[in-house]
Amino acid sequence: MDNYYDIEEPKKEKGLSVRRVLRWLAYLIMASVIITLMVRCSIYIDDKIVSEVLQDDVFNAAYERSPEDFSVRQYGMKSAWVAIRDGRLIEFNYLYHIEKARELQFSVKYNSDLAEYLNEDGIPFKFRLIDNENNVYDDYFFKQKDKFGYIYLRLCFHNIDLSYETDGKAQRRTYTLFIDVLGEDGGYSELCSYLLGNLQGYRLQKVTQGSA
């Protein structure tokens, strides 16, 4: 009589095996790490408003008068930030001067919880520029953007010239930005000041009306 061996059929696994659970757990961990990195990167990347060229009626009129030699010049800045209380910073970037329009533009970035009270413009600050001859410039407009707990302001000051002549010699102006913060009593006090770069070497940007 032939001998037959009993062969047991493999038992089908019920539910999820430990190996499969671990595999899916590894996938979930990898996905969460990737998502976290993407979120953190998006948080630390500045909003595109910081480099925007603001265009108003003054800008457009200057362009229409002489489009062939109209340009926006970008200048270097000595420092990118000013330290404020509790480890908070106010950051500055993308300093432009539009000679034909006599406009100076730059960005200001700060923590949304840096100041408590907002003025009629919806921000806690007022800005003023003072040049090396103690002339005060407070005619400006701005564009605002909120992103991940930060406020971005793109400021444009009017009637700003970077050079002038004295006794036939060209002189370079320097400008200091003063930031005044609104208090509980409705008054303003100086929060900080910032020297706007050396206004020397520049990078020329070609800009056409309506391109920004």
- Model pTM? 0.76
Contact 163, 202 (CB under 8 A): no
Render 151-177 in DSSP notation, one character per residue: EEEEEEEES--SEEEETTEEEE--EEE
Task: Give pLDDT, residue 212.
Answer: 45
The domain spans of the chain are 14-45, 48-205
Residue 209 pLDDT > 70: no
Task: Give pLDDT, residue 178.
Answer: 96
Q: Among 2.40.128, 1.10.3470, 2.60.40, 3.40.1000, what is the CATH number of 48-205?
A: 2.60.40
- pLDDT digits over 62-106, tens only? 999 989 889 898 888 776 778 887 778 899 989 999 999 999 999
